[in-house]
Amino acid sequence: MARISREERQRKLEQLNDGIWQLFLEQGYDALTFYNIAHYVNWRQSTIQSYHKSETLVTAIRGRIEPYFLGKLNFDSLCSLEQSWVESLEDNGFVNIIRFLINLNCSDPFMVDLTGYGVRRLEEVVAQSLGDDGLVLLQKLMGLSVMKIAKERSSPKSDPKS
């Protein structure tokens, strides 16, 4: 097997990480399995595993979440934040980031620090731009997001009473 240069390996890692990021935006963190990634980027699983271990897959999305998420929002006023947030709830990537922050913070002890940082950073940006009223609005918007995500993920016909 021919060895590749350090530069070529780095280029391929960046290409792989770009594919992992796109898969995350489209399908969410739960989709980041070696099987799914291999199909998405058209690489062999064994090749992907030479670049990432399961616990390092998150490095492919680290550093990309904040600019993507905050880039969807308008912090000029409370009204513009609310409007941009509600509009962004139609964007799969935006919704998948919210799911990532909430689900993994509640279910994965190894991700608590990362997801907790994301939530604290969001609060910090909102507080700097819009003060305490912005933080109150952020809580409302997060609640709205959780409700929307929960409704969309459940079957419309599912009734626990039946």
What was the pLDDT predicted at 137? 98
- The angle that helices 112-153 and 92-107 make with each other, rounded to 10 degrees, is 120
**Cβ atoms < 10 Å from Cβ of 132:** 9
Answer CATH for 63-153 from 3.40.50.10490, 3.20.10.10, 3.40.50.1260, 1.10.357.10: 1.10.357.10
For the chain, the distance separating the N- and C-terminal CA atoms, rounded to the nearest angstrom, is 60
Domain borders along the chain are: 1-61, 63-153
* Alpha carbons 15 and 35: distance in angstroms, whole number: 17
**pLDDT per residue over 53-81, tens digit each?**
988 898 999 899 999 999 999 999 999 99
Which residue would you say has higher pLDDT here, 114 or 83? 83
* Alpha carbons 122 and 40: distance in angstroms, whole number: 30
**Cβ atoms < 10 Å from Cβ of 40:** 16
Q: Which CATH architecture group holds 1-61?
A: Orthogonal Bundle (1.10)
What was the pLDDT predicted at 105? 64
